[in-house]
Structure 1
Amino acid sequence: MLSRVVRTVSKRVCAPNGFSQLRCLSGVPPPLLFDYETIKANLKEADAIESVEAAFGMLSQGKVDVPIPMHIGIDESDAAGPGDCHIKGGYVYGTTTWTVKLANVSFYKNLEKGLPPGSGVFIVCNAVNGAPLGIFQENRYLTDLRTGAAGAISVKNFVAKEHTKVAFIGAGVIAQAMARASSCVHKFTEGFAYGLDTAQTEGFVSEMSSELGFPFKVCETAEEAVRSADVIFTQTTGAAPVLQLDWLKPHATIIASGSDQPTKNEIPSDVMKKSKMICDLVRQCSKVGELRTAIKEGVMTEDDVFAEIGDVVLGNKPG
């Protein structure tokens, strides 16, 4: 996905042949630096969906080297932290580039200073000589596009056309990315949102109602939002489960994205056991988040996972 996305940026911003025009007498050209505003001006939600869908297919075919993510915990002090650094990367076998992402998140004391709580960069490297080609100071924008695209692909492949009511538990930037991207592939008619930050949730509802062309409602509880919806997006801090089994419609689809560390868990194990589970990569999900918890509690095993997203994208398993 990143190879295609970064080439799109490079073509739109500078060289018609992307990175190929860079030359340096030392033999190793310096990497291009793409700032946040340039990236944001040249890439939108729809740009990422096709690339991410193709990447899921290649992942399930074993065509991608994706190591287990690395996490670094940053101690809290009077002025900073606590924070997390997530380092992820990937390489599609036979391609000319590989990418590493460094994402810094949960620096919530930044808000007191008028700064965002997260930041990040992508480094795209030459797969022939290992040299860095480009540094993308994306400050989580590309991350959010990718996450939103993954949600859209899930909606496209797992949600019936007649299921048109959508809920968001958590109303931050990831919820916005999910709402925008999924609306590119599915016609929703009603939206519901619940978040702990009332002002943020009200802002989300107002912005999405105006932008996406269907009404959103602020819900007083997570239960109200979940009971109202056919499709539920969860994108919280993952500190505790955010829904219950008896709130869900029998046909409900849950798209959970908040559990990005081993101990985080948005979805309770009884819901996991009852569901047809489809995940992006079983070997990672079994070590991080809901599946890990369900396995630890003896409720599920890896064999209980119905499919990986790529299996459905490729048509090897039904959605």
Structure 2
Amino acid sequence: MTLFSIASRHLVRNAGKFTSCSAAASRRALATSAFPAPRLFDYETVTSNLSVADAIESVEAAFGALAKGEVDVPMPMHIGIHETASAGPGDCHIKGGYVSGTKTFTVKLACVSFYKNLEKNLPAGSGVFIVVDAVTGAPLAVFQENRFMTDLRTGAAGAVSLKYTTRPDDYLTIGFIGCGAIARNMARAAKAVRPNFRGVAYGLAGADEFAADMSGELGLDFQVARCSAELCGMSNVIFTQTPGGNTVLELNDLRPGTTIIASGSDQPTKQEIPVDVLKASKYISDLTKQTSKVGELRSALKEGVMTESDVYAELGELVNGKPGRQGDELIVVDLTGTGAQDAAIGQVAWDKLSAL
């Protein structure tokens, strides 16, 4: 028997198998192509239909689920774009998460600190949320949010922090160190959970505009402090949301019973809060495995003044019933931003905008 005849018999014998495999491959290709293209929601649609108030309830629930181990949230991925003749400087953060039992999961790409954009009249940050069907794994939508949804979910985390570390009947003077977009969402979020407060603003730029705008929008009294020490002396809650390159307050300037909600540190090069303040505080993280690497806790661990056993709680534990404020203790809440928050605001955005 020749080699040709052997090969011919082998081909005839397996022809049905080849046909079957080919048909299966075709069916798989057809099924894959049957997924509809994800919907694209542009920036104008996103910003005109979502507010920080939309996010608070879902973010609070997500923190509670996170503390129970019911959220799959990997460590953030960071891509550093070093400044060269052809690129940068800038940073890219990739976060995501899935809250057990929800209909979608979210992956977010956030680009920040592209400061050369300002010379081109472009913002220094941009980004997209990709919301995915948790049943089929097919992307449902791409939200061109350019940090807007990120700032909303950060503001919502600030609201949750404020709710569980202050008493409802306290009259609050809330200080804002750093007066950019995140500070505005923190102020709006604070209004949602503690409707009556007095605001104080301090920043290297924009404090006067921030105070005037927030006073007009929220119908509350806002004033401008001359320095961080003056703001600390007036405030029993302080939100810090600066680029995080330098510490922004001092322990000796703080009033007894102050709550600090810090959201500026989200990578190892940043630090807003001095380590002696962290050491003296009832320290609460949004997610300890993150804050120990990229948050304020990282610096205290590095200096040897704290260990992870000094963490009083994660924020979700307070949501689930662990006591928050119990007296005149100093409290620091360290917000680095979690994939649980991104999953929460992604679900909210899909639920609200998919009906448009």
Fold-level similarity (TM above 0.5): yes
> Are the counterparts in 2 of residues 166 and 188 from structure 1 also a CA contact under 8 Å?
no
**Equivalent position amino acid for 1:227 in 2:** G
> Are the counterparts in 1 of residues 91 and 112 from structure 2 also a CA contact under 8 Å?
yes
Which of the pair has more CA radius of gyration? 2
Report how far residue 292 of structure 1 moved.
0.8
SS at match of 1:287: helix
- 2 CA distance for matches of 1:37 and 1:165? 34
Q: Which residue is 1:264 aligned to?
A: 270
- 1 CA distance for matches of 2:88 and 2:234? 37
Q: Mark the runs of 5 or more structure 2 residues left unpaired by the alignment.
A: 1-30, 326-356
- 1 CA distance for matches of 2:265 and 2:73? 18
Q: Give matches, 1:189-228, under 5 Å.
A: 189-197=197-205, 200-228=206-234
Q: Which moved more, 1:265-274 or 1:214-223?
A: 214-223
> Are the counterparts in 1 of residues 198 and 221 from structure 2 also a CA contact under 8 Å?
yes
Pairing 1:230–2:236 present: yes
Report how far residue 164 of structure 1 moved.
1.2
> Are the counterparts in 2 of residues 261 and 288 from structure 1 also a CA contact under 8 Å?
yes
SS at match of 2:174: strand
- 2 CA distance for matches of 1:303 and 1:277? 10
Q: Which residue is 1:162 aligned to?
A: 170
**Equivalent position amino acid for 1:288 in 2:** V
Task: Summarize deviations over 1:149-197 as a string: whole Å, max 9, x none.
Answer: 1001111111123241010000000000000111111034321111111
Q: Which residue is 1:63 aligned to?
A: 70
Pairing 1:240–2:223 present: no
> Are the counterparts in 2 of residues 79 and 109 from structure 1 also a CA contact under 8 Å?
no
Pairing 1:99–2:106 present: yes
- 2 CA distance for matches of 1:50 and 1:181? 11
**Equivalent position amino acid for 1:95 in 2:** T
Structure richer in helix, relative to its length: 2
Q: Mark the runs of 5 or more structure 1 residues left unpaired by the alignment.
A: 1-23
SS at match of 2:185: helix
Higher RCO (Cα < 8 Å, 6 or more apart): 2
- 1 CA distance for matches of 2:100 and 2:166? 31
Paired residues, number? 294
SS at match of 1:239: coil
Q: Which moved more, 1:180-189 or 1:300-309?
A: 180-189
TM-score normalised according to structure 2 size: 0.80
- 1 CA distance for matches of 2:110 and 2:259? 28
Q: Which residue is 2:354 aligned to?
A: none
Report how far residue 96 of structure 1 moved.
2.9
> Are the counterparts in 1 of residues 133 and 140 from structure 2 also a CA contact under 8 Å?
yes
Q: Which residue is 2:306 aligned to?
A: 300
TM-score normalised according to structure 1 size: 0.89
Report how far residue 145 of structure 1 moved.
0.6
SS at match of 1:191: strand
- 2 CA distance for matches of 1:91 and 1:294? 30
> Are the counterparts in 1 of residues 171 and 197 from structure 2 also a CA contact under 8 Å?
no
